[in-house]
Amino acid sequence: MKSPIPDYLQSVVENVRSNDGGAPASYIDVLAKADTSKLAVALAMVDGHIYSAGDDKIEFSIQSISKAFVYAIAIEDAGLPAVLKKIGMEPSGDAFNHLSLQKGTNRPFNPMINAGAIAAHSLVVAPDATLEQRTERILDALSRLAGRQLQVDEKVFEAEMKDANRNMGIGYMLKAAGIISCDPAVAVRGYIRQCAITVNVKDLALMASVLCNGGVHPVSGEKLMPPESARQVLSVMATCGMYDGAGEWLATVGFSAKSGVAGAIMGALPGQVGIAAFSPKLDEHGNSVRGVDICRKLSADMGLHLM
Ligand code: DON
């Protein structure tokens, strides 16, 4: 029997197309010049079925969505207790690139803001690892999750490196606070490289579905992370994944999610489905305007709200 899901997803895409609000990220040329008409959605069920509609072959940089997976890798490489010693798990209430640490512990608030993400990156492989070792480890892990070899977009990487002062500032703040022990410039360069890895919506939905499936890849059956890591990542995504918009997001959409500045949103409903939406124009929180619309509609139509 033909599945009705692809036709449904096509109707979701058409339903949100008229929302022309927001603007693409403007801090680097490559993102500012993105084709804002692009729009795509994908669902990856935990039984291995993948459905998509719209511009589902368009690749974009993963950006902040990488933070969720690099957190899982840091937990695997350093162990959860060591990670929790260096990175908190509370929403910060500040912008993603804010220079702030928790009073008392000196830890970044959570791994979804840049400070926490750079700290997590520094724990990948080992504190004294090289940039190349960490990049290879992350690219390999993300490729396994996506089920295909992913690449770094060198144009995005170079552009971000030209204007990395704020992230470098965060790196040196982390070093001064004793949160990272490696050269801050190496950690920041590596973090920026991980953000420049390119994916499409099907990749992202599949990557999310591994989190929803207790760390087991729904297609290959490969065990890619322990269930405890998947749960930890999904929990932090639920409270911190959508930045300042996280509270409203959880109340209205109701599933764990992480957004990236290129215009993607990755969602995850444990035990059921990995979700990805893409469209470059962003709202005031830095979340894709049409991506949020898509997730709202999917949640309402398919009853995806956790509560
Ligand atoms: O750290 C940065 O500036 C970017 N490379 C990633 C930021 C990002 O995706 C923020 N999320 N919406």
Q: Whose CA is nearest to atom 4 of ligand 1?
A: 63
**Atom nearest to 64 CA in ligand 1:** 9
Which of 179, 195, 211 represents a domain boundary (last residue)? 195
**Atom nearest to 63 CA in ligand 1:** 9
CA of 64 to the centre of ligand 1 (A): 5
Q: Is 293 in the pocket of ligand 1 (CB under 6 A)?
A: no
Q: Is 114 in the pocket of ligand 1 (CB under 6 A)?
A: yes
Strands 256-259 and 264-269, bridge-based pairing: antiparallel
pLDDT on residue 247: 87
Q: Whose CA is nearest to atom 1 of ligand 1?
A: 114
Which of 195, 212, 243 represents a domain boundary (last residue)? 195
**Probe ligand 1: pick from 30, 63, 198, max atoms within 8 Å of CB?**
63
**Which region, left, alpha or beta, applies to residue 218 given φ > 0 means left and ψ of -120 to 50 means alpha?**
alpha
Q: How many domains does the chain have?
A: 2
CATH number at residue 137: 3.40.710.10
pLDDT on residue 242: 87
**Atom nearest to 259 CA in ligand 1:** 12
Q: Is 200 in the pocket of ligand 1 (CB under 6 A)?
A: no
DSSP H or E segment with residue 136 = helix 131-146
Do 150 and 199 form a contact (C-beta atoms < 8 A)?
Answer: yes
Say if 306 falls within a structural domain: no
pLDDT on residue 226: 97
Q: Is 259 in the pocket of ligand 1 (CB under 6 A)?
A: yes
Beta strands in 136-255 (DSSP E): 198-199
What is the spatial distance between Cα 257 and Cα 250, in angstroms, rounded to a whole number? 9
79 with 122, same domain? yes
CA of 305 to the centre of ligand 1 (A): 26
Write down the pTM of the prediction: 0.97
Do 126 and 77 form a contact (C-beta atoms < 8 A)?
Answer: yes
189 with 206, same domain? no
**Atom nearest to 196 CA in ligand 1:** 5
Mean pLDDT for back-to-back runs of 10 residues, the chain (307 residues): 86 97 96 98 98 98 98 98 97 88 96 98 96 98 98 98 97 98 98 98 98 98 98 96 85 96 98 98 94 97 95
187 with 67, same domain? yes
267 residue type, one letter: G
94 with 41, same domain? no
What is the spatial distance between Cα 66 and Cα 195, in angstroms, rounded to a whole number? 6
57 with 205, same domain? yes
CA of 116 to the centre of ligand 1 (A): 12
What crossing angle do the helices spanning 114-122 and 66-78 adopt, rounded to 10°? 40
Q: How many CB atoms lie within 10 A of CB 269?
A: 26
**Atom nearest to 27 CA in ligand 1:** 3
168 with 21, same domain? no
What is the spatial distance between Cα 293 and Cα 291, in angstroms, rounded to a whole number? 5
187 with 225, same domain? no
Q: Is 64 in the pocket of ligand 1 (CB under 6 A)?
A: yes
For 169-191, letters b (16+ CB in 10 Å) and e give ebbebbbebebbebebebbbbbb
Say if 307 falls within a structural domain: no
CA of 148 to the centre of ligand 1 (A): 24
Residue 288 to residues 152, 194, 280, 291, Cα–Cα distance (Å): 22, 20, 6, 5
ipTM of the shown complex: 0.96
Q: How many CB atoms lie within 10 A of CB 127?
A: 14
Q: How far from each other are the two terminal CA atoms of the chain, in whole angstroms?
A: 32
Sheet holding 264-269: strands in order across? 50-54, 40-45, 273-278, 264-269, 256-259
CA of 8 to the centre of ligand 1 (A): 31
* 154 backbone dihedrals φ, ψ, rounded to 5°: -65, -30
Tokens coding 159: 């552009």
Between the CA atoms of 51, 54, 60 and 63, what dihedral angle is there, to the nearest 10 degrees? -60
Q: Is 261 in the pocket of ligand 1 (CB under 6 A)?
A: yes
Domain range spanning residue 125? 63-195
Half-sphere exposure (CA, 13 Å, Cβ side) for 263? 30
